[in-house]
Amino acid sequence: MKNLIKVERARHNLTQAELAEKLGVSRQTIHAIEKNKFNPSVILAIKMAHFFEVTVEYLFDIED
């Protein structure tokens, strides 16, 4: 699943550690999501969308 977490994080001028703290997860979790090595839970995906004030569909795209 492709995602725009890194793009949104940069747009908000946040480090992986800062975003992780705001979402209540580890920096490693953010890193793994950005590298497409880990798909977040539905709850975490919704939290990210709310935090960035975008839709889940914008942040995450299922690759064919």
Q: Give the model's pLDDT for residue 64.
A: 67
Q: For residues 4-16, b (16+ Cβ closer than 10 Å) or e, as one string? A: bbeebbeeeebeb
Q: Which architecture characterizes domain 2-61 according to CATH?
A: Orthogonal Bundle (1.10)
Q: Give the model's pLDDT for residue 35.
A: 96
- At 34-54, the pLDDT tens digits run 999 999 999 999 999 999 999
H/E run at residue 60: strand 60-61
Taking the domains of the chain in order of start, what are their residue ranges?
Answer: 2-61
- At 11-21, the pLDDT tens digits run 999 999 999 99
How much of the chain exceeds pLDDT 70, in percent? 98
Closest CA to 5 of 35, 28, 43: 35
Rounded mean pLDDT of the chain? 96
**Residues 6 or more apart in contact with residue 46 via CB below 8 angstroms:** 56
